[in-house]
Amino acid sequence: MSLFTDISIPQLNITYKQPLGLYINNEFVASSDHKQIETVNPATNTVITSFYAASDADVNTAVTAARQAYEQVWSKTSAEHRGRLLHNLGQLIVENKELLAAIETLDSGKPYYTNALADLDQISQLTTYYAGAADKYNKGQMIPISHEKYAYTVRSPYGVVAQIVPWNYPLAMASWKIQGALAAGNTIVIKPAENTSLSLLYFAQLIEKAGFPPGVVNVLPGLGAVTGSSLASHTDVDKIAFTGSTAVGQKIMALAATSNLKAVTLECGGKSPAVIFDDANLDEAVKWTTAGIFYNSGQNCTANSRLLVHESVYDEFLEKFTKYAQEEWKFGSSLDPFDESCTVGPVISKAQYDRIQGYIEHGKSQEKLSSKEIGSPVESEGFFIPPTIFIDVTAESKLAQEEIFGPVAVVLKFKDYDEAIALANNNAYGLASAVFTEDIRKANFFARDIRAGTVWINSSNDEEISVPFGGFKMSGIGRELGESGLEAYTQTKAVHVNISKL
């Protein structure tokens, strides 16, 4: 099999050359065992192409390359120069924005105009942020001890870091990790999700073009059970960062612990509540919460999939929510994510389609819940699921407790603040939350009392690249973005300086 193939995207009149190999030491290479993975267009259920999958031996080769690059070159590269290279990368991202977004749409099914292009805007902003942060935030502290002694601290990079990213935001989640780790001075071995590897493989070419030395960034597509497990257990990897399901995050943490106790950052699942009080601006709440659950076909860890609505405005909110969703959240006329009218794309795969449909059928047949579908089911080979709302759901419902990871909202009633906060916290997850109220005191009480890593007041799912992001409880460990996204890839070294004479 060739290391490159031509791929056409006729909707945009684009034909480009897609890398198919593992990216190690600034070169695309075949995997050692020549195993491959097919990637499928979820809008049509047709094969796009196949690419090489990394074996244990390939992981070892990439880690060795990253270690050599760190010891010989990257650890001796100034923070100013790292920032300059990230600036170069940011310019290349802008120049290749439309193509990178098109690859994301082709491979993941996310709407091109309303979703994929927005992802690239955030990636560009994030890269510029870390380009400027490289020589500014990685500072230590001087600590006076006595007249004859002082100490200072140094924020030291870990060295070789492994990163594993999910399929719902293939390039965005990779960039959250890559840019911060590079700014901090680490070298990287990163594994994209097996069903959305194309954009990161193409992106690797931009890393080389920006001027990053060989071995600083290595991209290893492959199966989680092989490539992911090998990275998590490799004894020459100093840190691993993972975004994905809680179940897999637990396995990553266990492998890290039983190998070399490598540092771990985990961003896992969520079942985020959005609480709508009786004094909320309902029109604003509807706009934010429909986007919060139906954007990216509900395939967001922070999706506000639990809507907790005060009983006095429950019926009015439901009516407005349903009407607005029908008007704004659509597959588009041609069931094509490249269609400008498309705001809801297919879910990622047949397995995910079946999983979401299983929850929907459970809610209808087992729990006898009332539901509303936004639009009608469609006849398609692709994996399209109409936005769905379950009403009058109980707190104990499977649909209210488990992460569905699809365009499915569940709506619950509450009577007062105490019940609202109890319901909002009644879940194993704690990634994000939202509250809608015109009462500033109530909003601040909620921010204080909710057990979640992010709180949005009168908005939802509008994260900022300069603000820390991460979860409580089963939603993960550590923070990304902002200064935290750089600090996560450093550890503190304390230096004691004695200037006394014996």
pLDDT tens digits, one per residue of 113-123: 999 999 999 99
Q: What is the spatial distance between Cα 11 and Cα 9, in angstroms, rounded to a whole number?
A: 6
Closest Cα partner for 196 from 118, 108, 299, 298? 108
Q: Mind listing the pLDDT tens digit for each residue in 194-204?
A: 999 999 999 99
Where does 273-463 sit in CATH, by number? 3.40.309.10
pLDDT at position 372 is: 87
Please provide the average confidence, as pLDDT, over all residues in the chain.
97
Can you give the pTM of this predicted structure? 0.96
Domain chopping of the chain, boundaries: 4-268+477-493, 273-463
Q: What is the spatial distance between Cα 342 and Cα 114, in angstroms, rounded to a whole number?
A: 8
pLDDT at position 191 is: 98
Q: What is the spatial distance between Cα 481 and Cα 466, in angstroms, rounded to a whole number?
A: 6
pLDDT at position 377 is: 77
Give me the CATH topology for the region 4-268+477-493. Aldehyde Dehydrogenase; Chain A, domain 1 (3.40.605)
pLDDT reading at 138 higher than 80? no
Q: Mind listing the pLDDT tens digit for each residue in 2-39?
A: 999 999 999 999 999 999 999 999 999 999 999 999 99
Clarify whether 104 is annotated catalytic: no
Residue 501 — very low, low, confident or very high, per pLDDT cuts 50/70/90? confident
pLDDT at position 497 is: 97
Q: Mind listing the pLDDT tens digit for each residue in 53-70?
A: 999 999 999 999 999 999
Q: Mind listing the pLDDT tens digit for each residue in 139-195?
A: 889 999 999 999 999 999 999 999 999 999 999 999 999 999 999 999 999 999 999
Residue 502 — very low, low, confident or very high, per pLDDT cuts 50/70/90? confident
- Judging by beta carbons within 10 Å of its beta carbon (0-12, 13-18, 19+), is residue 331 exposed, middle or buried? buried
pLDDT at position 445 is: 98
- Residue positions counted in the chain: 502
Q: Rounded to 5 degrees, what are φ and ψ at 178?
A: -60, -50
The single residue of 267, 403, 480, 487 carrying the catalytic annotation is 267
